Every structure is written in structure tokens, then in C-alpha cells.
Amino acid sequence: MLIIPSIDIYENKVVRLAKGDFNNVSYYSSSPLNQARLYESLGFKLIHIVDLEGSRTGKFTAINSIREIKEKTNLKVEFGGGIRISKDAEELFSAGIDYIVIGSLSIKNKNEFEVIVENNLPENIVAAADVKNEMILISGWTEETQISIYSHIDYCKNLGINKFLVTDVSRDGMLSGTNKVLYKKILKGYLEINLIASGGIKDMKDIKGLKEINPYGVVVGKAIYENKIDLKELAEFALQENNPLS
């Protein structure tokens, strides 16, 4: 199981939102670059970056921070937030980003989403699904849809995408525990996909609990910044997994 530390960027600072609420922002002292360097120093190879303002408005605000991280570290980066047209994907890959995470676009503009998939390697694209009660939310969790996580996985799989980042928005940023039941249900129905769990991780017990159902990976965010998880312990666990990207 891949351990993927996250960096959420808002106003060029490292932050976390509670349930995606921009009125409930926690700011942290480290800069995005310094936080990335810390992860690299502990042996992590891949980090998850979200441009929160980009996710809400469709305009990148964190691209300079990401370029700096790619220039000054050897980390692989998966990035999400604000991808609306195929030109956005080109810009991100040109900036050195390794994997792009696409959520709202795959719902709101399927034609453009399919152009991006067609013009790039599907293995470099992660389909993001922000869910509440197994239904997809879009536009930074501000819009509800009538699309289930399962029909969305089917759609993306038909395009050749095999990586899925699934976030339970009711738990994200709340340190309330991960939705193991949801992920177990998804994995039971889709044994062949690479599922990345996200949202609610509160401690190492959660991490080890997810390991029991063995998703492809797990994104860890607020528990790190609120010192609920010891980073050295997390790094040691990641190294024990013997995953080349862990």
C-alpha cells in the first residue's frame, strides 16, 4: 500500500480545510517547498498536491510552488485542482508533474476530459471522485450530482483509466477515521483498479486498518499537520511496504 503525504495549497500556504469549507481553514507554518523537502528527507518518493483555489475557481494559483518543488526536489508529484481544459493538462505535464488528478471535468465536460485522456498516457491520469453517501460531488464539493461512485468508475475504466482517488468528503479534514466500509465495497466490485483512499485518516491505526483491505494507496494529510501521526513512524511503515513509489 502506497503512503502518499499531501500538501494542500491556498494563498501559497500549506493549509487544510474541514469538509472542504473555505471558511474553516487551518494554516500551517511550513512553506509548500519546505514541507515537500521534509517528506523527501524521510524517504517518501511521491506527494499529493491540491490547488484548493484552483479546484474552486478553475484557475491555477499553485503552479509556481509546484514548479519550485519539481526543480528543487526529486519527488514525484500527483496534482489536482483546476484542470478544466486540455491545455491545462499540457501546462502541468510541462511543469514536470507526474500524475494529474481530474475530478469535476470528468462530470461537467466529458468531451474535454476524453480529449485529455486521448492525448496523454492513461496511467498518468488519476480519476478523482469526491463522494458523499456514495454520490459524486464536484466543483470543490460545492455541487451535488446524481452520479454514483460505481457508475463513475465504470465510465473512467472504459476510457482506460485505472487509478482512482476516492475521498469521503464527510470525513476529509475531520480526523474522524477513514471510511473503510466504502473502500472495501469498491475493492470488492473492482478488484483490478488501483484505488487510492483519502479523507479522515486520524492515526496509524487507521493506516494499518486500511492495509487489511489493501488499497493501492492512501493519502495522508491533516493527521500529519496536527501531529496525530508521527512522520518518522509513517515513513518507516511506508518503507516496509517495499513499494518503489512509497
Concatenate the DSSP letters of all residues of 167-205 into one string: EETTTTTTTS---HHHHHHHHHH-TTSEEEEES---SHH
Q: What is the pLDDT of residue 54?
A: 79
In degrees rounded to 5, what are phi and psi of residue 178? -80, 160
CATH of the domain spanning 2-240, picked from 3.30.70.120, 3.20.20.70, 3.40.50.300, 3.40.50.720: 3.20.20.70
Is 172 marked active-site?
A: no
The 10s digit of each residue's pLDDT in 26-78 is: 888 789 999 999 999 999 999 999 998 877 777 788 889 999 999 999 999 99
What cell was used for 226?
A: 496536527
Q: Classify the C-alpha dihedral 131-132-135-136 as positive or negative.
A: negative
User: Model's pTM, two decimal places?
Assistant: 0.90
Place of cell 469535476: 104
Mean pLDDT score, 121-138: 93
C-alpha cell at 51: 490547488
Q: Which of 51, 88, 130, 168 is catalytic?
A: 130
pLDDT(97) > 80: yes
User: Which among 8, 51, 172, 206 is annotated as catalytic?
Assistant: 8
Residue 246: per-residue pLDDT: 44
- Annotated active-site residue 88? The verdict is no
Question: Which pLDDT score is estimated for 161?
Answer: 97
**Mean confidence (pLDDT) of the chain:** 89
pLDDT, average across residues 79-93? 91
User: Could you tell me the pLDDT band of residue 18, with boundaries at 50, 70 and 90?
Assistant: low
